[in-house]
Structure 1
Amino acid sequence: MASHVDIDGHPTWVDDRGGPGVPLLLLHGGLSNSDELLKSIGPGLAERFRVVAFDRRGHGYTADTDAGFHYADMATETIRVLEEVVGGPAHLVGWSDGGIVALLVALKRPDLVHKLVVIGANYHYDGVVPFEMDPQSPLVQELSNAYIERSPDGAEHLEVAFSKTFAMFGSEPTLTTADIAQFTRPVLVVVGDDDVVTFPHTVSLYEALPEGQLAVVPGTSHALPLEQPDVLAGLILNFLAAAEPPHTLIPIHRARPPG
């Protein structure tokens, strides 16, 4: 059921699909909205989990404020949703900016996190291939139309949202591998083989995680959840259902010292 919920004094659009099992919170990407994940991978996850999603401030059906966009604020917003809507810990599945937010939430409030899945996510802003978004490109047109269709702020606010987003992209996040090494929860890192997040950066994220797993999906880009939703949902379901740590015949990254 979708409705606006007061989160720290701000009406925030939340969609709680209900369902059996442990809560699973979907975290959408930047300049995006929850509908994309709910429609692509949501159905594949809803059979086993209570799927919840929300539109962060200035995204989707949630209105903006005068404040800039910052990942730390988004993490705080997500923590409030976990506390007040979900009612406790959940699996976090985050795409792009949503993956960054998931990492920050897990660092700040590990008690609210079971497992993490981060899709096309960077832990530092220098981990993304420099690229320009052509205003006339199909991608930008699709993002713009989706924003205008949903935003309570109207079409005239679109330029403000883009400006805030790209200002954040240029200076955040600023986590280090030492920060990532503090994670105590299992994390699945998923990336497309033609993602905007560089392979060295993705591998450094995976290698820094004490309980990490890595999946590179062939023939996909940063839009992986839209391009291969069934493949992605399958990877997520297998990861969430599996006992940790994985048992392999030739452990290298997961090798443990005797005792």
Structure 2
Amino acid sequence: MMLATGDVSAQQKPTTGYAPVNGVKMYYEVHGTGAPVVLLHGAFMTITNNWDGWIGELSKTRKVIAIEMQGHGRTADTKRDITYENLADDVAALLKELEIPRADLIGYSMGGTVAMQCAIRHPDKVRKVVVISSVFRRDGMVQEAIDAFPKLTADAFKGSPIEVEYKKLSPTPDDFPKFVKRLLASASSGYDLGADKLKATPAPMFFIHGDADGIRLEHVAEMYRLKGGGAHGDMRARSESRLAILPHTTHVTLMKRMSIIVPMVNDFLDAKHK
């Protein structure tokens, strides 16, 4: 494991490094002190363009471990398939490498699905999970979103922050078209983490969505019910899991609602785990 120190903001100097996990040389940053929480970015994203502002707030009271998953940011791609199983196993392996027995997970979009899969495959490693605008089954997305994936190409990202960040940070900056093709192929596969498996996970989960974020509301309700939600809280004990749907909010603008979401996330993570 290689360590270094680098600037992220004028107020904070994180520990940074590359950890060998399952044949992947994973880039990570550690900010702050306290109970550990791992941040899992969305598809094509990096620590910077996914978690700008979030790390500063969360690290006021927590040890924040932000990572860049296979092929993203400073973490080079490999010939290994990019699957939710592999990415979840990488998270668990990183925790072992950093000697962190158990952590909370916060995942956005693809990262939220990785977080749920990690809770399923490695329940001893995961305490609580915050799932932001994610699905546990491909058909959880609205049909419009499902139909769009096969039509996307690298040209759709030309000049975007996603392409700029990739070319700036990636060890293989010229491979962006190849990476887009690989990741879209993975996203277009018929994945399903399993309703029964999600229900059986001991980790409480907080599902956070926008009312126009491209996730079917029926699917959001299904995830919440699987984790014990939907009870009449005035008549019997409530589930430890939670649900929040923000109005007038899309998949992209959801991450700009940090001032609303972070206090709710802190309250969820700080609540005593039964």
TM-score under structure 1 normalisation?
0.87
Identity %: 26
Equivalent in 30, 42, 49 of residue 16 of structure 1: 30
Distance 2:253 2:43 in 1: 14
Equivalent in 127, 130, 133 of residue 120 of structure 1: 133
Distance 2:227 2:158 in 1: 32
- What is the aligned partner in structure 1 of residue 166 from structure 2? 147
- 1:164 and 2:189 correspond: no
Give the 3-state SS of the residue equivalent to 2:52 in structure 1. Answer: helix
Distance 2:261 2:99 in 1: 23
- 1:47 and 2:66 correspond: no
Equivalenced residue count is: 243
Which sits farther off after the overlay, 165-174 or 186-195? 165-174
Distance 2:140 2:153 in 1: 21
* Alignment gaps of 5+ in structure 2: 1-14, 229-239
Distance 1:9 1:244 in 2: 34
- What is the aligned partner in structure 2 of residue 28 from structure 1? 41
Q: Are the aligned partners of 1:34 and 1:54 in contact in 2 as well (CA < 8 Å)?
A: yes
- What is the aligned partner in structure 2 of residue 5 from structure 1? 19
Please report how far the alpha carbon of residue 86 of structure 1 lies from its aligned counterpart in structure 2 after TM superposition.
5.0
Which sits farther off after the overlay, 222-231 or 81-90? 222-231
The answer to which structure, 1 or 2, has the higher relative contact order (CA under 8 A, 6+ apart) is 1
Equivalent in 200, 205, 224 of residue 218 of structure 2: 200
Give the 3-state SS of the residue equivalent to 1:240 in structure 2. Answer: helix
* Alignment gaps of 5+ in structure 1: 246-259
Equivalent in 90, 95, 98 of residue 103 of structure 2: 90
- What is the aligned partner in structure 2 of residue 79 from structure 1? 92
Distance 1:237 1:39 in 2: 17
Per the alignment, do residues 9 and 177 of structure 1 end up closer, same or farther by CA in structure 2, a change over 3 Å counting? closer
Q: Are the aligned partners of 1:44 and 1:230 in contact in 2 as well (CA < 8 Å)?
A: no
Please report how far the alpha carbon of residue 106 of structure 1 lies from its aligned counterpart in structure 2 after TM superposition.
0.7
